[in-house]
Amino acid sequence: MNDHFWPSLYPGIIVGALVGLSRGGVIATVAGAAGGTAGAAIMYFVTARLGLDDGIISLAALIVGATAGAFLCEFCSSRLAATLRQRP
């Protein structure tokens, strides 16, 4: 995966967008895709550092990282939106 950085982000975009769609709304979808991309990028560097290149373990790690990043980013964006709605 050392020479495949950008293709490794595609699972992050797809999984993140699906997580955002499951939570509902356009903002959640965009936040989920952004968080999924960030999570996949982080897991790419972790798996590359550990030497787990081009295998099912690296793909599973990308998906887990994308899911965690999408949920975290979507949660933060929903909290921010709720806080902004409460202000007068």
Give the pLDDT score at 7.
81
Give the pLDDT score at 2.
53
* 1/52 Cα distance (integer angstroms): 8
* 82/77 Cα distance (integer angstroms): 9
Q: What is the 3-state secondary structure (H, E, C) of 22-77?
A: HHCCHHHHHHHHHHHHHHHHHHHHHHHHHCCCCCHHHHHHHHHHHHHHHHHHHHHH
The model carries a pTM of: 0.84
Residues 6+ apart with CB under 8 A from 78: 23, 28, 31
Tokens of 16: 């993140």
Domain boundaries, the chain: 16-83
Tens of pLDDT along 33-82?
999 999 999 999 999 899 887 788 888 999 999 999 999 999 998 888 88
Give the pLDDT score at 53.
76
Give the pLDDT score at 55.
83
